[in-house]
Amino acid sequence: MITNFFSILTPFTSAVSFNFTSFDSPDPNILYEHAYADEDQVIQLTGSKLKGWIDGRATYSRPMHLWDKDSGKLTDFSTHFSFVIDAQNQPDYADGLAFFLAPNGSNFSMAASAGYLGLFNPASEPTDNFFVAVEFDIFTNVWDPPGEHVGIDINSIISVANVPWLSNISIKEGKANEAWISYNSSSKNLSVVFTGFKYNVTVNQSLSYIVDLRKRNRRANKDDRALDEEFKRETGPRRFTYDELARATNDFNNKEKLGQGVFGGVYRGFLRDINSIVAVKRVSEGSTQGIREYAVEVKIISKLRHKNLVQLIGWCHERSRGQLLLVSDFMPNGSLDSHLYKKDTLLVWEVRDIKPSNIMLDSNFNAKLGDFGLARLVDHVSALQTTDLAGTKGYMDLGCVTTQRASKESDIYSFGIVALELACGRKPINHEAPEDQVVMLEWVQELHGRGVLLDAANHRLGGQFDEQQMNCLLIVGLWCAHFEYDHRPSIKEAIQVLNFEAPLPLLQFDIPRTLESYNSTSYVRQTN
């Protein structure tokens, strides 16, 4: 098995050339990452010294001046290299190899998934990192065309152009492949010629794409993305056919399943017509959500447009098949609660059903609110109880549950509980906690009253946090979750305090009450 690539970092339009007939480790010209030069003086990106499904990278460390900023001129370039992808007699192999170019000084970390071919890490890279890559891909990920292929990638793992690659024989028999990559600066044509094998005979294949390699202004990139988002908001969600979504998810293959909720499974898919990875929610037959709730969800979400809402892309309802499906933006980092409560994961300190399982995280850990109290993308039946009014025990305002009416104030309450949950690193109600700590809100109020509020901070942080920021978050959480709704701030006021644009409020809790004794439709108020 092999994954990944040989690369060039580009920042003179004067002639530059180099030739490597062999490689050594270490070598001042080559930066090795999870890769090495073996005794045969060839680069092993993965191999006998490197176990498991991993990425390897070898980068030419000296800058090549292909573009002159002052004159705006590009230069032509060409490269030729040989490589072997050897299955080593294994029936399963992945993911491929890539050659890439990026501006000098680029810093790309490698992803946990080898499917990204070592090009970048979608969970941590800035969205304006620029690269051009030629991928020799031997594994079909959800964003890939079917079968082994060669593709050209620009700033994304999703290829802008690709052709099938006749590589099966060379991979199984460990044969050498050749690749010639050239760029014509006048026509802006990036051309790839590469070998394949047909009937055990070497054949040449080709692929080309028009691309301008001049470095783009970052502001221009941001403006382009903003315009894309504006167009997306204006166009709104659309209807998909069941067959489209089945193809996108490999017929709802379990390998693409992101999670199972009360109402059904959620699958990762790739829609070729919009060139995008999506999440497809499939409502189970006989689900309690049913037609009514499904219709409500589509109507509500279709009208909502905000950068911090998970965007509904489309829907599908085919009663003849018994299928109800929703298509939304794919959030690579899942939900916030999965990071709060994973034992091996820790985020370092740097609507009326608002809770961490409904707060989704995109590739850059930007938060987006999803679910809206109607869909359940994560099954919390064993840990959380859902009220008759759309909401979850521990996150809902007492008044909201009692009156069965939601309001802005009840949403602020939920926001406050989530703020406290973020700061404390625990659930709002924890029956395994000491008796005086079962209800998070009461416990934090008690610490506040004793003047030891920071004792509520998530113990997993080990005290490594900004005390001013932590204190501010806890105070705002208590403020928003105040039992008296008219003592709660507006969201604008809360954000101003969180941004240190306004002073902290002075809080008083004269009549503490317990939230523990309430059922699915009402709270029981108790006073001490």
CATH of the domain at 324: 3.30.200.20
Residue 9 included in any domain:
no
What pLDDT does 337 receive? 61
What pLDDT does 524 receive? 33
- Check if the beta carbon of residue 438 is closer than 8 Å to that of residue 516: yes
- Check if the beta carbon of residue 396 is closer than 8 Å to that of residue 416: no
What pLDDT does 13 receive? 44
Instruction: Give the mean model confidence (pLDDT) for residues 427-438.
Output: 88
Domain end residue (candidates: 344, 374, 404): 374
> So which residues are the catalytic ones?
353
Residue 18 included in any domain:
no
Kindly report which listed range (73-87, 391-405, 419-433, 469-483) carries the lowest average pLDDT score.
Answer: 391-405
Residue 435 included in any domain:
yes
The Cα–Cα gap between 119 and 338 comes to 26
Please check whether residues 73 and 158 belong to one and the same domain: yes
Beta-bridge partners for 162: 151
More confident residue, 246 or 305: 246
Domain end residue (candidates: 354, 374, 394): 374
Domain end residue (candidates: 348, 374, 400): 374
Please check whether residues 347 and 252 belong to one and the same domain: yes
Instruction: Give the mean model confidence (pLDDT) for residues 29-57.
Output: 74
- Check if the beta carbon of residue 310 is closer than 8 Å to that of residue 258: no
Q: Nearest to residue 476, comparing CAs of 425, 412, 406?
A: 412
Please check whether residues 254 and 176 belong to one and the same domain: no
Please check whether residues 367 and 383 belong to one and the same domain: no
More confident residue, 185 or 489: 489
Please check whether residues 242 and 333 belong to one and the same domain: yes
Q: How far is CA 299 from CA 254, 265, 293, 303, 473, in A?
A: 29, 21, 10, 7, 34
Residue 221 included in any domain:
no
* Helix axes of 408-424 and 467-480: crossing angle, nearest 10 degrees: 150
Largest CA distance in the chain: 86
Please check whether residues 256 and 322 belong to one and the same domain: yes
**Per-residue pLDDT tens digits for 342-378:** 655 555 544 444 445 555 555 555 555 555 433 333 3
Instruction: Give the mean model confidence (pLDDT) for residues 37-62.
Output: 73
Residue 422 included in any domain:
yes
- Could you tell me what percent of the chain has a pLDDT over 90? 15
What pLDDT does 256 receive? 87
Tell me what the pLDDT averaged over the chain comes to: 73
Please check whether residues 499 and 454 belong to one and the same domain: yes
CA angle 262–295–297, rounded 5-degree value: 60
Please check whether residues 297 and 394 belong to one and the same domain: no
- The answer to whether residue 306 scores a pLDDT higher than 60 is yes
The Cα–Cα gap between 373 and 384 comes to 13
Please check whether residues 73 and 202 belong to one and the same domain: yes
Kindly report which listed range (230-234, 384-388, 404-408) carries the lowest average pLDDT score.
Answer: 384-388
What pLDDT does 4 receive? 38
The Cα–Cα gap between 367 and 422 comes to 13
Residue 415 included in any domain:
yes
Instruction: Give the mean model confidence (pLDDT) for residues 35-55.
Output: 71
Query: Any idea what the CATH number is for the domain that residue 84 is in?
Result: 2.60.120.200
3-state helix, strand, coil in the chain (%, to 5): 25, 25, 50
- The answer to whether residue 391 scores a pLDDT higher than 60 is no
**Per-residue pLDDT tens digits for 176-207:** 899 999 998 888 899 999 999 888 888 999 99
Please check whether residues 439 and 322 belong to one and the same domain: no
What pLDDT does 178 receive? 92
- The answer to whether residue 332 scores a pLDDT higher than 90 is no
- The answer to whether residue 134 scores a pLDDT higher than 80 is yes
User: Residue 358: which domain range?
Assistant: 235-374
Please check whether residues 503 and 366 belong to one and the same domain: no
Distant-in-sequence contacts of 109-114, Cβ < 8 A, 24+ apart = 110/33, 110/34, 110/55, 110/57, 111/55, 114/3, 114/4, 114/53, 114/54, 114/55
Please check whether residues 274 and 262 belong to one and the same domain: yes
- The answer to whether residue 411 scores a pLDDT higher than 60 is yes
Residue 88 included in any domain:
yes
Residue 12 included in any domain:
no
Q: Nearest to residue 508, comparing CAs of 457, 445, 428?
A: 445
Query: Any idea what the CATH number is for the domain that residue 422 is in?
Result: 1.10.510.10
Task: Please check if 172 is assigned to a binding site.
Answer: no
What pLDDT does 455 receive? 94
Number of domains in the chain: 3
More confident residue, 280 or 386: 280
